[in-house]
Structure 1
Amino acid sequence: MSYLEWAESQLAEIELLTSMFPTAEELEATDQLALAELRNYVEGSASAGSPPPSRPQFLIKQKLDSFILSCAYPSEYPAVLPEITVRCSGLSRAQQTQLQALLNAYLTENCRGEVCVLSAVEWVKDNLLLFINRSFSEAPSPKEESTSAQPPEVFSRLWIYSHHIYNKSKRKNILDWSKDLGLSGFSMPGKPGIVCVEGPQSACEEFWSRVKVLTWKKIMIRHREDLPLDCQGEGSRCVERIDSLRKFTGFEEAMFDPHGNRGNHMDLGQLYQFLNERGCCEVFQMYFGIEGR
């Protein structure tokens, strides 16, 4: 890749982050000039052989979770990792050092070659509680903590329609967010793009709130299903009930014989068969206005 392609990825990620953290209290560009120069570099006639003149730097502030991420882009990012530092006033120096080391290890193992600031934010959110007011070794696992939370009261299944899903970063976000939120379902990239997520209503709503703020030509919830769980106060029973209502095992990106000039179109007959095998073929007509076969 060239410096220009790296700069384009950087600018796209900054625009995504700005849409998700729209106020200065959430995202602060500490060097406005560097950001303006990056934009001019991408939009102008920059030479791919020379890097941008300066490095964008910004802070992501999560008041609810009590931490700040300080981020700086090397010219070759995302081919190389960004410089990300975690700051949390609720941690001792030793705990903060350990959290930083684990974050660096996570990014090194999972994020090289991909934009990853949002992944870093989500990782810190998921792991910060392991360090607050207790040592790392004594902390319960995230799974143990989640089972002690207030059990959900409604199971939801959202059928989302997009004019198209091509962008690799968006496709990765859809996969990562569904996994982070414990949702099952599938996404079908191409034109049109289809996403189905199912699980606790609050997790489905959080997924939709993240997805809908990305830049889309058109995206909507085409159909939704909401089913009462009738298991208030019984955490383990709610988990069993949710699992019994799922039509999908885990979450996957589903491809159905891609074709067309850019490989953007899927075989809708195979999509119908995929839905039929999971007992939800009726949504095919909701999406396309015709009965599948």
Structure 2
Amino acid sequence: MACKESSVLPVDIMEAQLSTIDLLMAMFPSPDELEIPESTTQCVERLRDWCENPTSTPPKIPSSISLTVCLPIADGDRTIQVNISVPLHCDNPETLEQSPSLGYSLRQPEWMSRAEVARLTASIPQGDDALEAFEYIQAEASRFFENKQSQTVAPEDADRGPTVRVWFYFPSLSTRKKRDDMVNLAPGYALTGFVLAGKPGVLCLEGGFA
């Protein structure tokens, strides 16, 4: 038995889909924020013409069109790209009462594995409310990034290089103020170690070799 071909959305619902695209273009006016393929732009223009004159034959259009939004996360230091699929066809236009749900997928950022991207994509709320989906993606991606940052070595520690230990011997080290200065000043230079007072005195310092 042959499968029934899908049909172009009714005019009123097609206009709603175009309004969603207009909303995204208004929310993300910069080319760095919204990426629209040329094929999508051309298709949208054909659909606008058809919606203004619905008595004409519907243009030949794909089942969906796509665009990409770049969402800032983690206080704007990072971004995540969201691919949005806007359906333009349906199986039964006569019984369709509302716009088909938008589809979402994520482009894998360098700080997420493929499996992590798949889990986040699967949890995105489905529906025609793009704002809700964006807020969810931003919140979850930011939480993931912050958790990952807390589990990694701090950048200043990672850049210190190999640890070096140096010994200093003093003929005499008995003044308490000098010992206190060594202890109090060392953290400011990312140094650790210990000091032994006496004659002779000993100072051991450990730190990264830049």
Q: Give the TM-score of the pair, scaled to structure 1.
A: 0.38
Task: Find the partner of 2:115 among 65, 87, 94.
Answer: 94
RMSD (CA atoms)? 2.7
Task: Find the partner of 2:132 among 119, 138, 141.
Answer: 119
Task: Find the partner of 1:6 among 13, 16, 26.
Answer: 13
Name the % identity. 22
CA positional deviation for 1:46: 4.7
Task: Give, in whole Å, the separation in 2 of the partners of 1:19 and 1:38.
Answer: 19
Task: Give, in whole Å, the separation in 1 of the partners of 2:12 and 2:45.
Answer: 17
CA positional deviation for 1:51: 7.7
> What is the aligned partner in structure 2 of residue 265 from structure 1?
none
CA positional deviation for 1:56: 2.7
CA positional deviation for 1:45: 2.5
Contact 1:71 1:82 in 2 (8 A): yes
CA positional deviation for 1:121: 1.2
Instruction: Give ranges in structure 1 of 5+ residues lacking alignment.
Output: 139-293
**As a proportion of its length, which structure holds more strand?**
2
CA positional deviation for 1:101: 0.9
- Other structure's SS at 2:31 match: coil
Contact 1:66 1:88 in 2 (8 A): no
Contact 1:95 1:131 in 2 (8 A): no
Contact 2:80 2:106 in 1 (8 A): yes
Task: Give, in whole Å, the separation in 2 of the partners of 1:73 and 1:28.
Answer: 14
Segment of structure 1 superposing worse, 36-45 or 25-34: 36-45
Instruction: Give ranges in structure 2 of 5+ residues lacking alignment.
Output: 1-8, 91-97, 152-210
Q: Paired residues, what number?
A: 126
CA positional deviation for 1:85: 0.7
Letter in 2 for 1:100: T
1:83 is the counterpart of 2:92? no
Contact 1:70 1:85 in 2 (8 A): yes
Judged with a 3 Å threshold, the aligned counterparts in structure 2 of structure 1 residues 37 and 51 are, in CA distance, closer, same or farther, namely closer
Task: Find the partner of 2:23 among 16, 19, 30.
Answer: 16
Judged with a 3 Å threshold, the aligned counterparts in structure 2 of structure 1 residues 128 and 53 are, in CA distance, closer, same or farther, namely same
Task: Give, in whole Å, the separation in 1 of the partners of 2:131 and 2:59.
Answer: 24
Larger CA Rg, structure 1 vs 2 = 2
Contact 2:17 2:99 in 1 (8 A): no
- Other structure's SS at 1:85 match: strand
Identify the structure with bigger relative contact order (alpha carbons < 8 Å, sequence gap 6+). Answer: 2
Contact 1:52 1:75 in 2 (8 A): no
Task: Give, in whole Å, the separation in 2 of the partners of 1:118 and 1:38.
Answer: 24
1:67 is the counterpart of 2:80? yes
Letter in 2 for 1:124: I
- Other structure's SS at 2:101 match: coil
1:53 is the counterpart of 2:66? no
Q: Give the TM-score of the pair, scaled to structure 2.
A: 0.52
CA positional deviation for 1:134: 4.0
CA positional deviation for 1:124: 0.5
Task: Find the partner of 1:39 among 45, 48, 67.
Answer: 48
